[in-house]
């Protein structure tokens, strides 16, 4: 019974609810009362016609009729009327409708409860039913698998049996020797095929290596030709060659070592006169000497440089210039703390690297600094500081200028421009080619006493490659 209710209770309850709802609407909605104002047994005239009454207790009370006095409507009738009203409790509408609707409500609530039970039992049984099902399916599968296996084995045995019978027959006929010979021959043929295949493979290997080496040679040739055409050298190759060994200069270029020992020097010359080639050579030589190279150039692309620190941003340059005098002061203090002579300080820097060690500063395109937002005061202070003997503190500065006019370099360097004029300088000499373009003549004036040196020395410039990777 419980199981039956659990399974079908919802449907039954819902059907009953619908049934009750229909029943409640079967009759009229109002109770019909027949009230006769004169009892029929007394045959009062005027009461031949009975009337149907639909009465609501709240709005109209028949008991008020009892107060009549002297009319034909008699007192004792009230009892009859009252009886009918009081006993039957005058309903407004069908009194059973609320009862039926309550029954409907109860039945629907029961149906909901039963359905909830159903759902929860389904959920609770899920894992166990799943387990049972999967176990059964797996058992069936295993059983079937074994059966299939047995059938397959049987077929195998059958085939083996047949083969054995065939062989026995052949043995009886004496044809087995022939069969063995055939087998032997096939073996030898197989071996020969194998050897042939090995030979083919080795031949293919040798041709492959040959073509590979030829390709490499061709590529190298093409590279060389392209370098000739473009007038430049492979930067990667250059990088390897430069970083691995130190550059050794010939006798005619040795004058540059003299220049490198100075704390400050100026490179001047016109566009294309070979300034930048000389710069690169100096950078290379200084890097070989263990210097950390700082390049200050607001107009260059930092990604083309390698192995050097490049400052392009105006803020970076400002902070560098601003901190420079402090760095010098710090190094002096360091020498005092260590208790060594200032001339021996350079030996202490040998072990250090980066900005802590020896630093070479290249000021390129220096006449454009103020245009790019470099603070003129810091810039002028830096120049003043660098005109002192900063080499003993591990610094060296190289200024590149297009012209000899120092006010173009820094607007605030009044009074000190003469110092720059007296600084040693290299004036690169340019010449014009067939098209009228300025090209390097490969020669320069080395003026050790400044611009107005009356005994300049003519020196030849080393043709350093165009690579900017150091």
CB of 153 to another protein, least distance (A): 20
CB of 24 to another protein, least distance (A): 8
Whichever of 15 and 207 has its CB closer to another protein, that residue is 15
CB of 411 to another protein, least distance (A): 54
CB of 156 to another protein, least distance (A): 23
Whichever of 35 and 349 has its CB closer to another protein, that residue is 35
Q: Which residues are CB-contacts of 22 (< 8 A; sequence separation ≥ 6)?
A: none
Whichever of 46 and 354 has its CB closer to another protein, that residue is 46
CB of 138 to another protein, least distance (A): 5
List residues near another protein by CB under 8 A: 10, 14, 17, 29-30, 37, 46, 51, 53-56, 58-60, 65, 67-73, 91-93, 95, 97-98, 101-102, 104-105, 108-109, 111-112, 115-116, 118-119, 122-123, 126-127, 129-130, 133-134, 137-138, 141
Whichever of 108 and 408 has its CB closer to another protein, that residue is 108
Whichever of 79 and 313 has its CB closer to another protein, that residue is 79
CB of 155 to another protein, least distance (A): 22
Whichever of 73 and 345 has its CB closer to another protein, that residue is 73
Whichever of 37 and 445 has its CB closer to another protein, that residue is 37
CB of 382 to another protein, least distance (A): 55
């Amino acid at each position: 019974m419980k199981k039956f209710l659990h399974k079908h209770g919802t449907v039954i309850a819902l059907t009953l609810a619908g049934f009750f709802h229909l029943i409640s609407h079967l009759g009229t909605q109002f109770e019909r009362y027949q009230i006769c104002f004169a009892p029929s047994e007394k045959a009062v005239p005027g009461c031949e016609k009975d009337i149907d009454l639909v009465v609501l207790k709240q709005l109209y009370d028949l008991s008020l009729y009892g107060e009549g006095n002297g009319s034909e409507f008699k007192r004792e009738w009230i009892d009859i009327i009252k009886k009918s009203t009081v006993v039957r409790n005058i309903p407004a509408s069908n009194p059973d409708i609320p009862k039926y609707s309550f029954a409907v409500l109860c039945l629907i609530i029961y149906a909901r409860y039963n359905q909830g039970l159903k759902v929860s039992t389904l959920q609770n049984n899920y894992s166990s039913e799943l387990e049972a099902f999967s176990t059964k399916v797996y058992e069936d599968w295993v059983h079937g698998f074994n059966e299939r296996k047995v059938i397959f084995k049987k077929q195998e045995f059958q085939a083996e049996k047949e083969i054995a019978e065939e062989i026995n027959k052949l043995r009886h006929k004496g044809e087995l020797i022939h069969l063995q010979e055939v087998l032997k021959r096939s073996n030898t043929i197989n071996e020969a095929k194998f050897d042939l295949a090995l030979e083919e493979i080795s031949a293919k290997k040798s041709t492959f290596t040959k073509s590979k080496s030829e390709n490499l040679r061709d590529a190298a040739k093409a590279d060389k030709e392209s370098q000739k055409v473009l007038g430049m050298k492979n930067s990667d190759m250059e990088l390897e060659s430069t970083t691995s060994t130190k550059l050794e200069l010939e006798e005619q270029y040795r004058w540059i070592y003299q220049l490198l020992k100075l704390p400050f020097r100026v490179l001047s010359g016109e566009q294309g006169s070979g300034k930048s080639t000389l710069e690169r050579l100096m950078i290379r030589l200084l890097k070989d000497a263990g210097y950390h190279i700082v390049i200050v150039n607001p107009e260059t692309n930092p990604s083309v440089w390698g192995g050097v620190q490049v400052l392009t941003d105006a803020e970076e340059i400002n902070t560098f210039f601003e901190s420079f005098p402090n760095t010098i002061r710090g190094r002096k203090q360091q020498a005092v703390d260590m208790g060594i002579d200032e001339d021996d300080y350079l030996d202490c820097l040998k072990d250090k690297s980066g900005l802590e060690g020896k630093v070479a500063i290249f000021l390129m395109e220096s006449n454009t600094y103020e245009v790019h937002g470099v603070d003129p005061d810091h810039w002028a202070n830096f120049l003043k500081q660098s005109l002192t003997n900063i080499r003993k503190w591990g610094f060296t500065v190289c200024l590149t200028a297009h012209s000899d006019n120092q006010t173009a370099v820094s607007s605030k360097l009044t009074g000190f421009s003469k110092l720059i004029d007296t600084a040693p300088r290299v004036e690169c000499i340019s010449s014009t080619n067939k098209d009228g373009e300025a090209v390097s003549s490969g020669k320069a004036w080395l003026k050790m006493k400044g611009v107005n040196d009356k005994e300049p020395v003519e020196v030849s410039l080393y043709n350093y490659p165009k690579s900017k990777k150091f």
